[in-house]
Amino acid sequence: MAASGNLRAGVAAAVILAVAGLVLLQDCGGRGESQGPRAVHARVEVARPRLRRLAGELVAGGFLRARSDIRISAERPGRVLSLPLAEGAAVHAGDVVARLDDVAALADLEYARIAAREAALAPMAPAADLARAVERLRLAEHAFDQCRPRSPIDGVVELHHVDPGEYVLPGTPLVEILDPRTLVLDADVDAEIVGRLDRDAPVPVTIAALGKAGALRGRIRRIASRAQPKTRRFRVEVAAPAGSGGARPGMHAEAHFPLPAEKPAFYLQKSVVRRLRGQRGVFLVEAGRARWLPVEVAEVAFRPELWRLDPEALPAECVVVASGFSGLRDGMAVEAAP
């Protein structure tokens, strides 16, 4: 019995060894002895960066407004008697735009005129009396003028804030007047760009709603002395004659600021610059292998699809990987696509 058990154990061991050898033989034959282990490589597309001076155009949008937009308010209490000019009517500097109850002011003015005339004609009147009479007359004339507010500019009556018959207090808005002949576009510009703006260069202003008819020729009127606290951008005012194309205050427009070329630099598509271990960089192709190179980049405000790199950021005549980053690692063999 013992001999029979040993025989069965020996047969089982022989079968196991035979199966293991067959599997090993098939595996070796399937790969082929001449191939050896597969080489790890990537097929990529490359680009050759060149230093260049990049000129451009900054497009900034905003809403048009009238250069002069004035709200005339009451300077004294009283009832509104009339508004001589209708909304939309043309107005000239000096025109009366509202009349308040002026009965008391007119009476005071007549009394002051008489008193000043008598003081001037009195042969023995002290000089101080004449001076007081003249001052009272001046104050009475000013009080009467406050009952008849006048427009300080040429323009149009845009809006009545009150109706005849209303009683108003000092500071109550009466009439809004604007001059639509010159329009202003307020644009917000980044700090790195504002220093490159040419104050003397024409700035085209386009209005999408009007097409070619809405093209205006503007110029920089003012650049803010400090950045806005929330956006950290500088407000730039572009003034342009309204012309005859139908441009009006309140329309959305875009200012096209020409930007001169700056010092030479590398400009790469943002897709070329990768992020590895929290740091931006590019893959160079050197001697058939990829080499990771960390770089510092800067925004290009007028070309948001580009990164700007200083001239020292890349080696001369280098080749960078432009696409094919899937699985790419530092030191990996690469094959550049034709």
Q: What's the mean pLDDT when you consider all of the chain?
A: 86
Q: Is the pLDDT of residue 25 over 50?
A: no
* Separation CA 247–CA 235 (nearest Å): 22
pLDDT band of residue 245 (cuts 50, 70, 90) is: confident
Residues 143-178: pLDDT tens digits?
999 999 999 999 999 999 999 999 999 999 999 999
Q: Residues 88-114: what's their mean pLDDT?
A: 94
Contacts of 229 (CB under 8 A, 6+ apart): none
Q: Is the pLDDT of residue 211 over 80?
A: yes
The answer for 214, left when phi > 0, alpha when psi is -120 to 50, beta otherwise, is alpha
> Residue 296 in contact with residue 310, Cβ under 8 Å?
yes
* Cα-only R_g, the chain: 42
The residue type of 117 is: R
Q: Is the pLDDT of residue 290 over 90?
A: yes
- Give the DSSP H or E segment for 258: strand 252-259
The pLDDT assigned to 263 comes to 87
The pLDDT assigned to 177 comes to 97
The pLDDT assigned to 37 comes to 39
pLDDT above 70 as % of the chain: 88
Contacts of 140 (CB under 8 A, 6+ apart): 105, 108, 109, 111, 112, 113
Q: Is this prediction's pTM over 0.85? A: no
The answer for 28, left when phi > 0, alpha when psi is -120 to 50, beta otherwise, is alpha
CB atoms within 10 A of CB 22: 10
Residues in the chain: 338
Compute φ and ψ for 31, nearest 5 degrees. -80, -35
The answer for 288, left when phi > 0, alpha when psi is -120 to 50, beta otherwise, is left
* Separation CA 32–CA 47 (nearest Å): 38
The pLDDT assigned to 40 comes to 56
pLDDT above 90 as % of the chain: 66
SS3 of 132, please? Answer: helix
Q: Is the pLDDT of residue 35 over 50?
A: no
SS3 of 138, please? Answer: helix
